[in-house]
Amino acid sequence: MVIAALSRKLAFPLGALETEAKTMEVGVQFALDVGVRDVTLGGNSICICNALQGLGEASSSVQNIVAGTLHLAKGYRTIAFSHTKRLGNVPAHLLAQLATNVESYVALLQECPSHVEVACNNDVSSFSINE
């Protein structure tokens, strides 16, 4: 079930790894702001997911972002970080496309576009298959 989704432009140019780290941090903060206390977040970067799960070290370029994300994560009852291969991360791509048409951000609460919700449900189903 999709409780909330965020589509947001980042205000500064970042490399791929830095973008993935910042996206996780923004996602963790957004879910807290909405009041979600049990969450699974998926990302394209296995390096970032491993660092957030404590399975590896973060690159020096993202260490502060990862540390900030882990600090925010303490506000959850349960939180999980899952690696989703880039080709399989349809919800992220749909939300990124949406961000190209907005000035700053769009928060989708309770009513999520049906194509995004279907993609999220398919994505969550793949978590249980792949684990």
101-126: per-residue pLDDT in tens?
656 555 655 555 555 556 555 655 55
* Cα–Cα nearest to 123, from 80, 69, 77, 85: 85
Question: What are the two backbone dihedrals, phi and then psi, of residue 4, each rounded to the nearest 5 degrees?
Answer: -160, 150
Q: How confident is the model at residue 61 (pLDDT cuts 50, 70, 90)?
A: very high
Domains of the chain: 4-130 (3.30.420.10)
pTM for this model (two decimals):
0.70
pLDDT > 80? residue 17: yes
Question: What are the two backbone dihedrals, phi and then psi, of residue 51, each rounded to the nearest 5 degrees?
Answer: -65, -40
